[in-house]
Each structure stands twice: as C-alpha cells, then as structure tokens.
Copies of this chain bind each other. A is one copy, B any other.
Amino acid sequence: MRGVPTNSVDIVLCTAHDRQLAVLLVRDESKRARERWTLPWAPVAARDTLDHAAARDTLDHAAARVALRAAGARASWLAQAGAFADGSRHPGGAALSVAYVGVTRPRALGPSTGAHWFPAGDLPPMAPRHRAIIDAALAQLRERMDRAPVAFRLLGATFTLSELQAVYELLLGRRLHKASFRRALQGAFLVEPTDEWKSEGRGRPAQLFRYAPRRQRGGRGGRGGRGGVRFELLGG
C-alpha cells in the first residue's frame, strides 16, 4: 500500500470440495485485520500495462499468476468477471479491482500457505467489495457453463458420466435429470468412451469417458447461434 492507489486483480477460484462448491480464500496479512479472510489478489501497477506492449493481455496473465500462487497449481479455467470500484474499501486499498473467476481441480493445499477452501454458502466475514465480487463471479460462472467447458476442467482426463453430472449439479446448484443429461450429452458429441471402467465400491461399475469434442453435426448447435429466442429469462 504505497501512496498512489493502484488497481488490483482479484480471483474467485472455485473447486469441488467435500461435495460442495468451495472458494479459495487467504488470510488477510494487513495490520488492522482481525481474523479476516480475503480473495487472493495482487496489485497491477500502471507501469506494467504500458511497458509490455507485446503481452497479449496483461490482466489475464496477472490473474493466472495470482491463482497459481494462491492454489499451488494452475487454474484449469479462468475468465474475467468484471471491474469493481464501488465505495467499499478493498483490503489492499486498490481503487479499482478487476475480478476473475476460475476453477481448479480438487487437490490438497500445501501446508501453512495461509489459504483455505470455504463452502460457497458459508463464507467468513470479508470486505464488502470482495463479497460483491464473489456474488458476481459465481453468477457468471453459472451463466458461462453452457459456453465454455468449465465442468470438464474440474475433472481429470477421464471421468464417469455420473461424476460429470455431479459437477454440473454442483456448479449450477440444482439437480439434473439423468436420462436427459445423457441424451443431450450424447447428441453434442462432446465425450467419447474409453475401455476402462471405474468401481466406486458399491453398485455397478461405471464406464470412463474422456472429453473429446468433435465438430458439430449440422444439428442445432454451432457458434452462429441457431434456434429460437429464449424469452423465458426476461422476468422483469
């Protein structure tokens, strides 16, 4: 916290933890912090953005660095979630915060990194701006699930269809119908079966699949946006 206010990049990194959607928070190290947690963040100096004219996108790279440092591993998906500059003070005093939302595969955090996974529905007290960022980031995560393969990035190279459905349900926050889910998935040519099967202890073993999107058959899909208009979401 120098004299000149800086911009910051703040990350809402999500994972599946203990059958719940969890967000990564780190301990707030500033003096007046009393048992507080913050999102992982880093300042973005104005200098940086002017010096490296070659950089494809300064903000994206800064976000990737912050996520890597906080979680100990690369985020497997990361996208910008917006800029926040309302009055509520930022833990680091940043004038403006660029928020990112991402996912990373569940793994153990290194000890004493000061980071911890919190269930998204049970977060500790935080700075108002960080609370707002989390709300917006989780909302955008859900909206983007049908445009980016977020769910697949939360899984390993191979997975069962039940695992995939569980991730969708976790991220969307609602139950899905098994038969419909599989029919839609099959029709989208997104996964292909492997020769391996996975037995989880109880019940029938499940076949393992891998994410292997093939170019769409002329059907509905396609980037151009076919199909009718969806008026259903325009409540008020």
Q: Interface residues, chain A, CB within 8 Å of chain B? A: 4-5, 7, 44, 46, 49-50, 52-59, 80, 82-89, 95-96, 98, 142-143, 145-149, 168, 172, 174, 176-177, 180-181, 184-185, 187-188, 190, 213, 215-216, 219-225, 227-236
A56 to B85, CA, bound (A): 9
How far, in Å, is A86 (CB) from chain B's closest CB? 5
> Contacting A82 at CB < 8 Å: which of B52, B80, B148?
B80
A161 to B62, CA, bound (A): 47
Let me know if A232 and B213 touch, CB within 8 A: no
Cβ–Cβ < 8 Å partners of A50 in chain B:
5, 87, 89, 95
6 A-B residue pairs with CB within 8 Å: A54-B87, A57-B86, A148-B234, A149-B234, A181-B229, A215-B235
How far, in Å, is A52 (CB) from chain B's closest CB? 6
A221 to B222, CA, bound (A): 23
Given A49-B87, A83-B83, A85-B49, the answer on whether A146 and B55 have CB atoms closer than 8 Å is no
Cβ–Cβ < 8 Å partners of A149 in chain B:
234
